[in-house]
Amino acid sequence: MITLTSSNPATGGTFVARHEGRVVFVRGSAPGETVVARLLEDPDDAADARFWRAEAVEVLEASPDRVPSVWPEAGTDGVGGADWAHIALPAQRRIATEVLQDLLSRAHVESFPVEDAQVEPAPHDGEGLAWRTRVRFAVDEQGHVGMRGWRSHDVRPVGEDPLSVPAITALDVPSWTPPAGTEAIDVVGTSTGAAAVVVVGRTLDPASLVIPDSWGQASVSVQNSSGLHPVRGDGLVRERVADREFRVSQTGFWQSHREAATLLSDVVAGDLDVRPGDHVWDLYGGVGLFAASAARAAGEGGEVVTVEGNARASALAAENLADLPAARAERGDCLAWVRTAVRAGTRPDLVVLDPPRAGAGAELIRELTAATRRRIVYVSCEPSTLARDLAVAERHGWRIADLRAFDLFPHTHHIESVAVLEPAS
């Protein structure tokens, strides 16, 4: 245990403190706060480490940003997934903005005024509660259902969960006693109010699953070593964005905040500004969220190709977009697919890309900046890799025409950003 005073935010939701000259990244603290913290490294083993990590266990002098946690079970030794629940919501956004601006500055992004990058709340978000539509419960060796601790394999008990949508909390999954062999329980609460439960365990027998009454009409599947087995329903969930329904695998990717799909779809459509006849690439396209509005705007003379690595998601994208003549779904690794298309002489007018946290990477950015005619819209859930990739685009002669960031993960340090790139000249 050491006493630390934290200062500016670091990436990953921690705050920077110093102990005898060494940087310590403190979790569970807030800017300007003095805490007693438990070191996560043994100081004898980590004597030569450049930095240490610690978790606050007692507040000695509270930051003005500290409030009673919206989810006390996510505090010290608690569940992960709500690492800023003890910080006032406006302060969370101010701190996330500081992190974003710092990352852009450190990446030497030059074509966009860094101070204009500001984290905005999601629409209708109030106190930032009841937003999460995808939750993974863990199961310990005694069969108790809980959630994993922060950077931990331990399963911690969970009672009230203020961040999940009511369709999830209504199922009361933590009071269920799962069958032996259950490793996790994935729960989805959809935009249509329906719920789905996937019971995960390599050796589970779908035929022997007894669905508890508390799960109401939720669709239920078992995922074991041979794949996903629907027990009730068809293994899919239906998500609605404006007048369009998207079918998504119960275990597949869909934006997590209940407002995210609609918000991002609107922002991307506005930023792309697709014209009739345009040729558009939707990279890391999932089940076709961004391709749908692009294909509608491109019309019959246009072409929108959505590229996705996951076979099931790509097949569902093809089905979700089947009524749109301009749309086509392809399965493949985005970098390999783009290289092949560029070698074949194809040049898109517009590109939207939405990679996982690792970002697009320098190679893909180089290919896209060389091939794209008008605009690239980059949707990112990890600002550090976004900043890195934006700087690469600038070095290849493109400029950042706009950058917006959204608090789509309230009470956590995560943010979603959308950057618009155009040729600099």
Ligand X SMILES: C[S@@+](CC[C@H](N)C(=O)[O-])C[C@H]1O[C@@H](n2cnc3c(N)ncnc32)[C@H](O)[C@@H]1O
CB of 176 to ligand X, least distance (A): 29
Residue entry with tokens 């259950």: 182
Spatial separation of the C-alpha atoms in residues 93 and 407, rounded to whole Å: 7
Q: Closest CB to ligand X among 354 and 367?
A: 354
Tell me the one-letter amino acid at 425. S
Whether 381 sits among the annotated catalytic residues: the reply is: yes
Number of residues that bind ligand X (CB under 6 A): 17
Tell me the one-letter amino acid at 111. S
- Rule CB under 6 A: is residue 410 a binding residue for ligand X? no
CB of 370 to ligand X, least distance (A): 19
Q: Catalytic: which of 147, 287, 381, 421?
A: 381
- Rule CB under 6 A: is residue 285 a binding residue for ligand X? yes
370 phi/psi in degrees, rounded to 5: -75, -35
* Interface region with ligand X, contact rule CB under 6 A, candidates 55-63, 106-114, 307-315, 320-328: 307-315
The only residue of 309, 325, 361, 423 in contact with ligand X, by rule CB under 6 A: 309
| DSSP H or E segment with residue 364 | helix 362-371
Q: Closest CB to ligand X among 75 and 286?
A: 286
Q: Closest CB to ligand X among 22 and 247?
A: 247
Spatial separation of the C-alpha atoms in residues 309 and 354, rounded to whole Å: 12
Q: Closest CB to ligand X among 9 and 286?
A: 286
Query: Do residues 298 and 248 lie in contact, with contact meaning Cβ atoms separated by under 8 Å?
Result: no
Helix 383-395 to helix 89-106 angle (10° resolution) is: 30
Spatial separation of the C-alpha atoms in residues 66 and 261, rounded to whole Å: 31
Q: Closest CB to ligand X among 56 and 165?
A: 165
DSSP letter for each residue of 127-169 = TT-S-B-EEEEEE-TT--EEEEBTT---EE-----TTB-HHHH
The only residue of 102, 125, 161, 308 in contact with ligand X, by rule CB under 6 A: 308
Q: Is 33 helix (H, G, I), strand (E, B) or coil?
A: coil
* Interface region with ligand X, contact rule CB under 6 A, candidates 28-36, 45-53, 54-62, 281-289: 281-289
Spatial separation of the C-alpha atoms in residues 387 and 290, rounded to whole Å: 22
- Rule CB under 6 A: is residue 313 a binding residue for ligand X? yes
Spatial separation of the C-alpha atoms in residues 76 and 189, rounded to whole Å: 28
Closest-approach residue to ligand X (CB): 286
- Rule CB under 6 A: is residue 289 a binding residue for ligand X? yes
Q: Closest CB to ligand X among 285 and 410?
A: 285
59 phi/psi in degrees, rounded to 5: -95, 125
The only residue of 167, 269, 295, 334 in contact with ligand X, by rule CB under 6 A: 334
* Interface region with ligand X, contact rule CB under 6 A, candidates 35-43, 208-216, 279-287, 404-412: 279-287
- Rule CB under 6 A: is residue 83 a binding residue for ligand X? no
Task: Find the angle CA(224)-CA(228)-CA(234) to the nearest 5 degrees.
Answer: 145
* Site track 228-267 with ligand X (rule: CB under 6 A), x = hit: -------------------------xxx------------
**Which 339-378 residues touch ligand X, going by CB under 6 A?**
354, 356
Spatial separation of the C-alpha atoms in residues 307 and 289, rounded to whole Å: 12
Tell me the one-letter amino acid at 51. F
Residues of this chain that bind ligand X (CB under 6 A) = 253-255, 284-286, 289-290, 307-310, 313, 333-334, 354, 356
* Residues labelled as active-site residues: 381
